[in-house]
Amino acid sequence: MEIRNNRVASFHYTLKNPEGEVISASPEDDPLTYIHGTGSIIPGLERELEGKSQGDSFSVVVPPEEGYGQRNPNLVAVLKREVFHGMDKLEPGMQFQAQDSNGNLQVITVSEVNGDEVTVDRNHPLAGMPLDFTVNVVDVREQTEEEAQGAEDVPR
């Protein structure tokens, strides 16, 4: 059975940065499972999975435009330290979750601390980066009725 819209696919993956360092990988006993065509994984990887079947393996480099997008300098801001009330220690690399004006969760990364000024970056940590995936398709099946109902609620 091939991966196509509204089918459930499970796959193992390893994701590396351009330097070849592993950024993320699926646990050996827990492949990533998603409903194809619902936009629940990055577009470039979903496109590459289209038409694949159980047992297929492949490698692909997903460009930033089909991954987490290019870095947007407008998503970098300098805030007063007082915004982080209750935080005694702020260091570059620290990450926080916040809601944007539409109520969507986003990760905010502290990129610099300079006295009373804290530079934060709302870009996705992988924005601007080509993503090197190695993928092994574990399973492809039709979705259940419950999954089909839930898929209607997924933003596209």
**For the chain, domain boundaries:** 7-68+127-151, 73-121
Q: Write out pLDDT tens, residues 6-44.
A: 999 999 999 999 999 999 999 999 999 999 999 999 999
Residues 6+ apart with CB under 8 A from 124: 68, 69, 107
Fold exhibited by the domain 7-68+127-151: Chitinase A; domain 3 (3.10.50)
pLDDT at position 28: 92
pLDDT at position 85: 84
Flag the least confident range among 49-53, 87-91, 109-113. 87-91
Contact 49, 7 (CB under 8 A): no
Mean pLDDT of 106-131: 93
Fold exhibited by the domain 73-121: Thrombin, subunit H (2.40.10)
- Would you say residue 92 has pLDDT above 60? yes
Contact 150, 143 (CB under 8 A): no
Task: With cut-offs at 50, 70 and 90, classify the pLDDT of residue 151.
Answer: low
pLDDT at position 101: 80
Q: Write out pLDDT tens, residues 29-83.
A: 999 999 999 999 999 999 999 999 999 999 999 999 999 999 999 999 999 998 8
